[in-house]
């Protein structure tokens, strides 16, 4: 019988179907991406077609999920790292019974659609993470698995309640990106055995076959990382796929890589297995041939592909999900009855994520912050030191979870306790090793779990390694916390490679990221109070290596810092000139202001610990701090000053550093680069003169 006249769609290529309806459902899942992309003339059908059988088995036979309750806590998680195959995910979400219609799939990649070009958290029901940049989903899935495994180890008590698994689908591109190598290496070292990474081994990239630039043995690489590696040989055999995925989720003390030797755009005959299949329409004739090969009419539409028999498969999957959820709820009720203290502890953590703290936790955290304030606020101290005390205090209350990229002592985030390891998944912190990029992506995975606010630390100069992950965290509004120390050329002797100049300004360009550069110990604590009580969003603390003096006592400092900027000190009405600074430079402009005030100038000193918070403060507060009437303004920061002209205006001056640093003592380099009282005073007099003559 020819493919075009096959009695059951899909039966010509699909093996292991349990029923004619399942065969048709898989065939429809292969056809839908081809039809959608052909109708639009753009998009990515090839991977979605080839991996449709595996995705069907995963969503309909293996994954523990409930389409009626996508946020069910006991569910397994699936992250599509190969985000260009978004149609693969959207199709299975629809066919599994999530709130996603065929019309939504038809509208993919259009403005306002619930099916954007790459999956986005909060836009499409059932999507667990915004993905697209290759390797990001893979690395964040490892963070999610680490967090879920810690949850299980701390709270499950062997009751089989909090034992969710994480599945991620990665392509060749994901595994070529460096972030995946960093993350996979750490996952192997930590024995993250609730993670199953499925690798679509189709050996095709946009420019051509992978062997143009990729010759390594991926399977052996992952074995060297400490992973278990399994193979799916026949990517059209549903039973083989189910058997391997079932074995893959068994806990063996190792993460598992499932290698699937697929053919991109199968069952196309003209472009399958070629780079032409990665993106773009197959063509009208080839789309018709694919439909015919699958056993459908060549003029099939989305609505004719998904007939009543396919809907029956959907209903079975929905019923399966409800049953899985019900059985889990029964186990959870027993767990709560047998372990009330564990249940109470976990409930409090969930209530505090993202730190919407119940009274008991809030009081404990407040007490911890008060203790830090009493200890550090009165004496000159590096802001990294005060921040470290806050980290230790909050971690002891179970609020934070994270670690450092091999710099815990230097960044002052070393806390008491034991590290996470293969034999101790409930550890108090993570040794990330020298893996800044993977660390940032893993923080996103921890945040996606939602039980702890994640933090990770490194030197500010190395934040450049983390930008792709920071960007995605901001896009998802995740409560990730990046701790950056050694914040300026005051780092000194390590020289320009370690002296950040452009990083602060660069981080401030990321939409949704709040960059916090406290001026002293008191501002550090107040900034943390603002973070803990604010909405979920990523923040970057930028902290000094060198000691900074305590600023004069300030009333209602928490409220002032929460607004992003405030007046620290002023002479007279403070209406002649405003000096603005962040971090360690606030003490510098305070000294400069006192010199300026000696000649009778009414000067005000403004600390702006978070530019983003000040931007969002109400206009009344902004005017009280930086009135429009004050036209003479000087901004000071030990880094590129381009963006500060927004705040100082045409007549203002910016004292910054627009070139790389040098090796020498911190004080010498600061002086060489013009971060001095005399430079600030000179700039102030220049802008006063320019304003007077304007």
Active site residues: 436
Residue for token pair 């999956």: 119
Angle at CA of residue 320, ends 318 and 321, nearest 5°:
65
Tell how strand 539-542 and strand 481-485 pair up. parallel
- Cα–Cα distance, 133 to 489 (Å, whole number): 32
- The token pair at 578 is 């405003």
User: 618 exposed, middle or buried (CB, 10 Å; 0-12, 13-18, 19+)?
Assistant: exposed
Beta bridge partners of 578: 604, 633
DSSP state of 264: T
- Cα–Cα distance, 346 to 342 (Å, whole number): 6
- Cα–Cα distance, 101 to 105 (Å, whole number): 7
Beta bridge partners of 484: 458, 542
- Collapse the DSSP code of 690 into the 3-class scheme (helix H, G, I; strand E, B; otherwise coil) and give the result: helix
DSSP state of 452: S
Beta bridge partners of 569: 605
Residue for token pair 């299975």: 92
Those residues with Cβ within 8 angstroms of residue 547's Cβ, 6 or more apart along the chain or in another chain: 380, 381, 382
**Phi, psi angle pair for 223, to nearest 5°:** -60, -40
- Collapse the DSSP code of 398 into the 3-class scheme (helix H, G, I; strand E, B; otherwise coil) and give the result: coil
- The token pair at 140 is 């964040």
Please say whether the beta carbons of 279 and 206 come within 8 A.
Answer: yes
- Cα–Cα distance, 22 to 32 (Å, whole number): 15
Please say whether the beta carbons of 578 and 632 come within 8 A.
Answer: yes
- Cα–Cα distance, 668 to 150 (Å, whole number): 47
- Cα–Cα distance, 167 to 127 (Å, whole number): 13
CA distances from 288 to 39, 196, 267, 296 (A): 12, 35, 11, 9
Going by C-alpha positions, the residue among 561, 564, 475, 483 that lies closest to residue 522 is 561
- Collapse the DSSP code of 489 into the 3-class scheme (helix H, G, I; strand E, B; otherwise coil) and give the result: helix
Please say whether the beta carbons of 510 and 545 come within 8 A.
Answer: no
Please say whether the beta carbons of 531 and 390 come within 8 A.
Answer: no
Tell how strand 603-607 and strand 566-570 pair up. antiparallel
- Cα–Cα distance, 232 to 53 (Å, whole number): 12
């Amino acid at each position: 019988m020819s493919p075009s006249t096959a009695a059951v769609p899909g039966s010509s290529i699909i093996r292991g179907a349990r029923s004619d309806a399942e065969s048709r459902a898989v065939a429809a899942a292969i056809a839908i991406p081809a039809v959608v992309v052909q109708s639009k003339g753009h998009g990515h059908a090839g991977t979605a077609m080839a991996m449709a059988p595996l995705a069907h088995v995963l969503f309909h036979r293996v994954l523990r999920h409930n389409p009626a309750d996508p946020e069910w806590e006991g569910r397994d998680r699936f992250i599509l790292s190969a985000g260009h195959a978004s149609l693969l995910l959207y199709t299975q979400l629809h066919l599994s019974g999530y709130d996603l219609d065929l019309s939504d799939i038809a509208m993919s990649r259009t403005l306002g659609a619930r099916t954007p070009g790459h999956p986005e958290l909060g836009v499409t029901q059932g999507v667990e993470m915004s993905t697209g940049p290759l390797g990001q989903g893979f690395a964040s899935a490892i963070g999610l698995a680490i967090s879920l495994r810690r949850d299980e180890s701390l709270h499950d008590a062997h009751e089989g309640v909090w034992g969710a698994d994480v599945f991620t689908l990665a392509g060749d591109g994901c595994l070529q990106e460096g972030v995946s190598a960093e993350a996979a290496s750490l996952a192997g070292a930590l024995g993250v055995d609730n993670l199953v990474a499925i690798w679509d081994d189709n050996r095709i990239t946009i420019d051509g076959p992978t062997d143009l630039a990729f010759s390594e043995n991926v399977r052996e690489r992952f074995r060297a990382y400490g992973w278990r590696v399994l193979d799916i040989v026949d990517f059209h055999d549903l039973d083989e796929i189910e058997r391997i995925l079932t074995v893959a989720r068994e806990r063996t003390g190792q993460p598992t890589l499932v290698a699937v030797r697929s053919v991109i755009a199968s069952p196309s005959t003209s472009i399958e297995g070629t780079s032409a299949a990665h993106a773009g329409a197959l063509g009208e004739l080839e789309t018709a041939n694919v439909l015919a090969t699958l056993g459908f009419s060549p003029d099939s539409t989305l609505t004719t592909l998904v007939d009543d028999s396919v809907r029956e498969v959907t209903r079975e999957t929905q019923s399966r999900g409800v049953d899985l959820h019900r059985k889990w709820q029964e186990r959870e009720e027993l767990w709560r009855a047998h372990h009330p203290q564990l249940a109470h502890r976990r409930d409090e953590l969930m209530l505090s994520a993202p730190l919407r703290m119940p009274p008991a936790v809030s009081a404990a955290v407040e007490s911890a912050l008060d203790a830090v304030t009493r200890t550090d606020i009165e004496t000159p101290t590096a802001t990294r030191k005060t921040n470290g005390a806050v980290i230790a205090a909050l971690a002891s209350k179970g609020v934070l979870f994270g670690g450092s990229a091999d710099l815990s002592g230097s960044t002052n985030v070393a806390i008491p306790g034991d590290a996470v390891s293969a034999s101790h998944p409930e550890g108090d912190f993570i040794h990330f090793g020298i893996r800044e990029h993977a660390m940032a992506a893993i923080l996103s995975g921890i945040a996606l779990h939602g039980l702890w606010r994640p933090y990770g630390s490194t030197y500010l100069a190395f934040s450049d390694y983390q930008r792709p992950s920071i960007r995605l965290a901001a896009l998802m509004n995740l409560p990730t916390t990046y701790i950056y120390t050694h914040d300026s050329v005051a780092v000194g002797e390590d020289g320009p490679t370690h002296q950040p100049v452009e990083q602060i300004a660069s981080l401030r360009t990321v939409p949704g990221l709040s960059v916090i550069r406290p001026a002293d110990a008191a501002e550090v604590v107040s900034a943390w109070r603002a973070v803990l009580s604010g909405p979920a969003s990523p923040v970057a603390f930028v902290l000094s290596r060198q000691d900074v003096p305590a600023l004069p006592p300030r009333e209602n400092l928490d409220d002032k810092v929460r607004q992003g900027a405030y007046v620290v000190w002023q002479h007279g009405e403070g209406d002649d000139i405003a000096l603005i600074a962040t971090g360690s430079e606030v003490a510098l402009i305070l000294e400069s202001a006192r010199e300026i005030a000696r000649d009778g100038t009414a000067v005000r000193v403004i600390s702006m610990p978070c530019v983003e918070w000040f931007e969002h403060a109400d206009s009344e507060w902004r005017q009280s701090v930086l009135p429009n009437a004050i036209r003479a303004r000087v901004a000071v920061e030990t880094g590129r000053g381009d963006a500060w002209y927004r705040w100082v205006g045409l007549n203002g001056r910016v004292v910054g550093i627009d070139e790389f640093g040098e090796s020498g003592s911190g004080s010498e380099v600061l002086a060489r680069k013009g971060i001095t009282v005399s430079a600030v005073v000179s700039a102030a007099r220049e802008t006063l003169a320019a304003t007077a003559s304007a």
